[in-house]
Amino acid sequence: MLILGIESSCDETAVAVVEDGRRVLSDEISSQVDIHAVYGGVVPEIASRNHVRAISALADSAVARAGITKGDIDAVAVTYAPGLIGAVLVGVNFAKGAAMALNVPLVPVHHIRGHLAANYIAFPELEPPFLGLIVSGGNTILADVRDYTDIRILGSTRDDAAGECFDKAARVLGLPYPGGRPLDELARGGDDKTYDLPRAKIEGAPYDMSFSGLKTAVVNIVHNAEQRGVAIDRPGLAASFAAAVSDTLVPRAMAAAAELGYDRISVAGGVAANSRIRRDLEAAAAKAGKRLYMPPLRLCGDNGAMIASQGYFEYLAGARAGMDLNAYATMRVDRAVY
């Protein structure tokens, strides 16, 4: 079954063709990162306009690169939540038009479920159940992935997402947006014990997380140093910060996997590209005898292939949307409202 997957929830317009949920025939991405970098963050209105500009040609190119014709497409899958509402709407409306013109089913896909599906592509043998750790620019969630479309939230951030926190810490360190990757690179030259940063715990909610105190701590260190005219150890601060995020995520993921009795942990989302977090997860998983699944870097960020992949499993579970499908800025990963 060939699924055309469409993603436009933030600053990447992406269209892909995936066969039977696992085999990627094409995966086209048009990133707006450079356009938004000058503003230090994604400007929603600009993102929407650029999705409109890019999406049609990108879909043509995804079909051509897949070596198929439009008539071969069996269903259209699209991110309908969560994301920047104007941006998501562009993909949803394009997908409606495509599904109607091709006379094929329209399948709504939750963006975070899509991130989890990145590992179905990277590891064809991976099947639920497993523990899911989703760390992206807008979400930080520990999930019990019981089945492809049966996902329960075990814990999530109470405030900022890990990626948001990386971007903010990078910004005060004078690094370009999005700051996760440059901060990761800066951290490699630093000592992670240079600064004592907080690792928040939430009483009574062992799998919930909080990153806003960590973010404020980094901002305060930089501002205090500026006011006193003293230099900060930038690589040291970056390394201490990455260690604090990793210390928040990794032990929780391991504890949740142990509690549920899962021997597999699947990690997804843009922050899953972080070298410190990857290294710590690998070490902890090896120690606990768990198998770790992490997407290759190109599948960590937003892409259309993961939406087409999850779309296939949603399709098998019976998910269908009509021409009245709406876009939603927020939606829990364990819900499917459309």
Residues 6+ apart with CB under 8 A from 251: 284
List the Cα angle 283/289/290 in 5-degree steps: 80
Residue 179 CB, shortest distance to ligand KG4, in Å, is 5
- Stretches 89-97, 132-140, 203-211, 318-326: which one binds ligand KG4 (CB under 6 A)? 132-140
| 166/328 with CB nearer ligand KG4 | 166
Q: How far is the CB of 247 from ligand KG4 (least distance, A)?
A: 15
Residue of 249, 247, 142, 157 lying closest to 202 (CA atoms): 157
Q: Please give the helix or strand (H or E) that residue 58 lies within, else none.
A: helix 44-66
* Burial (CB count within 10 angstroms: exposed 0-12, middle 13-18, buried 19+), residue 142: buried
| Spatial contact of 301 and 268, defined as CB atoms under 8 Å apart | no
- 141, burial (CB in 10 Å: exposed 0-12, middle 13-18, buried 19+): buried
Closest distance of CB 165 from ligand KG4, Å: 8
Position among 28, 167, 192, 280 found at the interface with ligand KG4 (CB under 6 A): 167
- Return the residue of 6, 10, 151, 331 that touches ligand KG4, per CB under 6 A: 10
Rounded to 5°, the CA angle 260-138-215 comes to 95
178 or 235: whose CB is closer to ligand KG4?
178
Q: Which residue has the tokens 């699924």?
A: 3
Number of shown-chain residues binding ligand KG4 (CB under 6 A): 19
- Only one of the segments 34-42, 88-96, 163-171, 193-201 lies at the binding site for ligand KG4 (rule: CB under 6 A); that segment is 163-171
Write the interaction track for ligand KG4 spanning residues 50-69; mark x where CB under 6 A is met and - where it is not. --------------------
| Window of 46-54, 160-168, 191-199, 248-256 that interacts with ligand KG4 by CB under 6 A | 160-168
Smallest distance, ligand KG4 to C-beta of residue 50, A: 16
Region of 45-53, 230-238, 269-277, 288-296 interacting with ligand KG4 (CB under 6 A): 269-277
Binding mask 173-212 for ligand KG4 (x = CB under 6 A): -----xxxx--x----------------------------
Q: Which stretch binds ligand KG4 (CB under 6 A): 30-38, 131-139, 284-292, 320-328?
A: 131-139
Sheet holding 291-293, edge to edge: 150-156, 140-147, 130-135, 264-268, 291-293
Residue 283's contacts (CB-CB under 8 Å, 6 or more residues apart) are: none
Task: Using CA atoms of 272, 256, 113, 214 in order, give the dihedral in degrees to the nearest 10.
Answer: -50
Q: Which CB, 104 or 328, lies closer to ligand KG4?
A: 328
Q: Does 160 bind ligand KG4 (CB under 6 A)?
A: no
CB of residue 104 vs ligand KG4: minimum separation in angstroms?
26
Distances (CA, A) of 316 to 104, 109, 157, 234, 313: 14, 13, 31, 49, 5
Stretch that binds ligand KG4, among 162-170, 208-216, 232-240, 287-295 (CB under 6 A): 162-170
Write out the E strands in the chain. 2-7, 12-19, 23-31, 75-81, 106-110, 130-135, 140-147, 150-156, 264-268, 291-293
Residue 169: CB minimum distance to ligand KG4, A: 10
Q: Under the rule (CB under 6 A), what is the footprint of ligand KG4? A: 10, 136-138, 163, 166-167, 178-181, 184, 269-271, 273-274, 301-302
